[in-house]
Amino acid sequence: MMIRSIVAGLMLAGMMLSGAGPLAAPTFDGNWSVLIVTDRGQCDSAYRYGLVIRNGQVIYEGDASVNVAGRVSGNGAVSVRVSAGSQSANGTGRLSSAQGGGTWRGNGSSGTCSGTWSAERR
């Protein structure tokens, strides 16, 4: 019984040191700068927002009247919805420990728009 406990402890320590297992999952919490670029449609050509990730939740704490609801999973997959008035957009992508990117698609007063986004940790 004691040997099994020691072996289990060593295996857990090995997983932690090697970066495997749930205890070594990267955290994406912190401040991020996000650049949103329009590739198609009549939307503004680019926007830049400062966002915060806290406990995997994407949060906008700025002054613009923009609502942001999103989530980052443990593997860095991102899903975000941004809305302002009658306009809204959905974005998906992936983050690494210091940067990331993906695509977005939205609808609003100017019709359908789409593009890419990139992010970097601040």
Q: Give the tens place of pLDDT for each residue, 11-45.
A: 434 433 334 444 445 689 999 999 999 999 988 89
**Of residues 71 and 5, more confidently modeled:** 71
* Residue 8: predicted pLDDT: 41
**Of residues 23 and 86, more confidently modeled:** 86
* Residue 86: predicted pLDDT: 87
Nearest to 116 by CA among 66, 46, 49: 46
Q: What is the mean pLDDT of residues 89-117?
A: 94
What domains does the chain contain, in order, with CATH numbers?
Answer: 26-121 (2.40.128.120)
Q: pLDDT at residue 63 above 90?
A: no
Residue 71 DSSP one-character state? E
CA distance 118 to 116: 7
Let me know: does 80 contact 68? Beta carbons within 8 Å.
Answer: yes
Let me know: does 86 contact 109? Beta carbons within 8 Å.
Answer: yes
- Report how far apart the first and last C-alpha atoms of the chain are (Å, whole number): 48
Q: What is the mean pLDDT of residues 87-96?
A: 95
Nearest to 113 by CA among 35, 38, 37, 46: 38
Q: What is the mean pLDDT of the chain?
A: 83
Q: Which residue has the tokens 């941004």?
A: 82
